[in-house]
Structure 1
């Protein structure tokens, strides 16, 4: 029982030494000489940390102060009890507790400063989504901050804000990172050749922090440490999956040859039309500037009047013939079951197979209204058609929006 209690105390006390990693993560933020200034800062932090820990331990022993159960009634932190025992419950007590709150708020900022930089460094090696490489309007890696806010909020909700329950999660993650970084430095000095003292120092650090990880994992396993162990395994699998995805994308899009002129041909242009209108005119005008192979698709469902052919000859074919221009073809697709989009998609996929080289360019006319609620007054077939082509399409199918914007008034 004494050994187990010692392990639990050791695992809880180790978290007091976390936070120094913020210096190593932010070495590049120091002024020159960066390494020298970072070493000085880290040494000062460690010295102050030792003094504070020793002082708190001695004072708690002198005043007979022990920790209370965070889940029990009348819970009070050790710092609160120690300050009240030494200075009483006067103004100094409230100044001290307020100062502790400000310091904790400031220390929490290190995660928001370092986590985005960390995710960016990992994303540079393709083990995290490349969205973490993007800078926001304030020149920060905003997506790292967004993800951190969401995840920390979920943790606080799940653990109901009891920090004692969060200690195992934090300790295992921090000391596992310490172990890996120290072991990495051993390999670094080995590749550099020589430096036996530095290899020994980093090796000793890796062993010490590795033992700490094992102790914390065993002592706090039932208190929530199992969640961290599971998350670490899930993150490793996730990061390797992201890496494999980016490697596959690089293999497929890589090109080391010049453009092939024989492959540059006019596309097959497909324009879905419902009736003759300004929107149809805009789409056809753009199509005529692209290719001489233009196909107007019209889906005729049962009981619909056959007016599109008359309008096509009157408003499209005859004027273009008279001007000596290319006349588009009109394709009437019969749909007895009143399906409109699926026959179009089937035709486009069939047209793509007519040639091994030519691309199929689908011009999708759509009405753009002024207010969001006006979308409810119109069918959104254009958006559905684009979504279906995105899902079922191939590399030689290109979709282009042809918007018609309603004017005010």
Structure 2
């Protein structure tokens, strides 16, 4: 504390001697107090450049505190289920990377919102700091009230006075700087509390829904009805049908665009699927041809799967989706991404008895 008072006096006294004061951060030729003080004492030269660079280094080092502790804070909140569990995941460098990403994103939003003028968010910092001080001191009052240690009354009075002092300061700063951006905190803090409460309720509901206290249910282990979307005869289609034959004897190969090529599809299916499967002594898949108005094939496929689920109320429906996986990221837009949309539709409209299985073919 004495060292801090010395530094503060070392800045305040020369500022008074050289008649240096704060300038408008949005005006032309803006300089910070330290920049004006260094220029007045040492002039504009190499010393001024070194001093400003040193100040920048110190500020960068102090900013590291936020990047070191904010991810730990989000992890602690996520541990209590008040934030997404993604904040509990360690990154490649054993840091909680998603907390760092969130901090960078929030900082960018503040800088853009305040026009890049770093003086403007100071009221937010002041309110956040004094709010933290007030809550921590009030928490210590409650702690000492519940404690049975000797001298707890004396400590409770000290923490109570600290909570009162910082609380009054918080109110003063909030009223004085309300129009300068402090109103953001007034809105943001209750919204964050509501958001965290909603996240907590969600995790409680999920835990209550998926928890089970009984052993595995071995009743009704019937083979699933397997549905394989069929386009044309390729290695990708062959891999999907081969896997279907391994897991079930009740297979439907569904073609979703049969308005003009039904005869061609039937001939292809008979030659490449039915005949070889019969020759192997297996039950061949059933070919299902769907009409697709305007050649939009996904919705008829989804409706057929939902109808199959209603028709077979005691069986699971396994939907095998063969898809091409390219070797380079830039090749992805060159191929049809219908499989991704199909999976999304099934996940949104399906239920517990519909299982989606990816059958990837790697180039």
Q: Structure 2 length as normaliser, TM-score?
A: 0.91
TM alignment of 1:276-355, pairs within 5 A: 276-355=233-312
In the other structure, the counterpart of 2:23 is 68
Shift of 1:297: 1.0
- Structure 2 gap segments, 5+ residues each: none
1:234 to 191, 194, 213: 191
1:154 to 109, 115, 118: 109
In the other structure, the counterpart of 1:14 is none
Q: Structure 1 length as normaliser, TM-score?
A: 0.81
Post-superposition Cα deviations, 1:367-390, rounded to whole Å, max 9, x if no partner, equal: 233445554554332222112112
In the TM superposition, structure 1's runs of 4+ consecutive aligned residues that sit over 6 Å from their partners are none
Distance 1:95 1:280, change over 3 A: closer
In the other structure, the counterpart of 2:208 is 251
Q: What is the rounded CA distance, in whole Å, between the counterparts of 1:62 and 1:122 in structure 2?
A: 49
TM alignment of 1:172-211, pairs within 5 A: 172-194=127-149, 195-211=152-168
In the other structure, the counterpart of 2:94 is 139
Q: What is the rounded CA distance, in whole Å, between the counterparts of 1:300 and 1:159 in structure 2?
A: 55
Post-superposition Cα deviations, 1:279-328, rounded to whole Å, max 9, x if no partner, equal: 22211111111112211112243222412223333332233233222322
Q: What is the rounded CA distance, in whole Å, between the counterparts of 1:301 and 1:182 in structure 2?
A: 73
Residues paired across the two proteins, number: 361
Distance 1:94 1:119, change over 3 A: same
Shift of 1:330: 1.9
Distance 1:91 1:339, change over 3 A: closer
TM alignment of 1:111-126, pairs within 5 A: 111-126=66-81
Worse-superposed segment, 194-203 or 249-258: 194-203
Shift of 1:214: 0.7
Q: What is the rounded CA distance, in whole Å, between the counterparts of 2:66 and 2:194 in structure 1?
A: 23
SS in 2 for 1:302: coil
1:266 to 194, 204, 223: 223
Is 1:51 the counterpart of 2:6? The answer is yes
SS in 2 for 1:164: coil
Q: What is the rounded CA distance, in whole Å, between the counterparts of 1:204 and 1:331 in structure 2?
A: 78
Alpha carbons 1:301, 1:336 under 8 Å: kept: no
Worse-superposed segment, 213-222 or 331-340: 331-340
Distance 1:372 1:85, change over 3 A: closer
Shift of 1:116: 0.7
Distance 1:61 1:254, change over 3 A: same
Shift of 1:190: 2.3
Shift of 1:353: 2.0
Shift of 1:85: 4.4
In the other structure, the counterpart of 1:107 is 62
Worse-superposed segment, 109-118 or 307-316: 307-316
Worse-superposed segment, 235-244 or 132-141: 235-244
Distance 1:365 1:116, change over 3 A: same
2:34 to 62, 79, 104: 79
